[in-house]
Amino acid sequence: MLNLIKKITCCHGLSGSEKQVSAVIQKAISPYVDYCYNDTLGNLIAVKSGSGEGRRKIMLCAHMDEIGYMVTCIEDNGNIRFSNIGGINYISASYTNVVSGRGVPGVLVPESGLKTGEITFDKCYIDIGAKNRKEAERLVSVGDSFVQEPYVKKLAGRRIAGRPFDDRLGCAILVMISERLAEEGCPDDIYYVFSVQEEVGCRGSKTAAFEISPDLALVYDVTSTGDTPEAKPMAVKLGEGTAIKIKDASVICHAGTVEELTRVAKDNKIKYQCEILVAGGTDTSSIQMSGAGCRAAALSIPTRYIHSGVEMADLGDIKATVELSVKYLLKKD
């Protein structure tokens, strides 16, 4: 499990530039599916045909992309100015290592003398160590993408830290589910969708769902926790199991599917929590409203410090998410 998470996490995948992570995932999932392809927008879709009569089309979705920075200007002194891609907290992003899609390392820093509340994207720059514009332009061009340097580190017990867990953990979970279903067989047709551009408006999942027109969709993404000092009250904690989403700011999940997931978790003694996320959303909303509509629900991975350089998750929660998914997909009505 940990090695798979490292492989999928430690590659470049800014929104709109997901080819590197797509290639890694395709290599990992190919042994467990019938075929893979990339659609027009860049979503990676892996298909496994079911063996049952009257089989349904089930879409399992996790997004490949991550937040980051796009180069807008290279200054005479060699510093790089950028625009944000996705929601960035520039206080946590300041003084961090970044890397471009070409592998060029740098550091993201705020201008000198700023107070904390003054740190915004137009007051920050990326320093790659270049002496001047000419030297910088040998390594970086306008339109290049940068992300915070990816990594995965094992902590105490079952905890891991790293980035971007949002949402490479979901992608790893889909690969693990595909392996289990390939071994055990599934009566339904499964479409594993690794979506693009979730961080800039849930764009890829919308087009993929329109093409597939699934009977049922399950989305996998991270969610916040309420177990850190002065955190907003929330009934989700690290290490207490997978989080069955009831609603977030963008979606109310299909009530019948939420009930079924809860019942399967109870029947199989799988640790779970109920998730209501006050702010934020996932691909669940765009899939639910695609085409004529879709029965959609979500399983979330409790994660501390989302959209920072030190996201934290629990391997037990990841395992519970895989186990509940497999039991649910193989359940007999």
List the 159-163 sheet strands across, edge first: 151-154, 159-163, 311-314
For the chain, what's the residue count?
333
Radius of gyration of the chain (CA): 20
Task: Report strand pairing: 272-276 vs 242-247.
Answer: parallel
Coil vs helix vs strand at 61 = strand
Rounded to an integer, what distance in angstroms lies between the CA atom of residue 236 and that of residue 95?
30
Coil vs helix vs strand at 251 = coil
Strands (E), the chain: 35-38, 44-48, 57-63, 68-74, 80-85, 96-100, 105-110, 124-127, 145-148, 151-154, 159-163, 189-195, 216-223, 242-247, 272-276, 295-302, 311-314
Q: Catalytic residue, from 53, 135, 183, 198: name it.
A: 198
Is 198 a catalytic site residue? yes
Which residues are bridge partners to 152 per DSSP? 162
Coil vs helix vs strand at 14 = strand
Nearest residue to 93 via CA among 105, 110, 79 = 110
Q: How many CB atoms lie within 10 A of CB 156?
A: 5
Catalytic site residues? Answer: 198
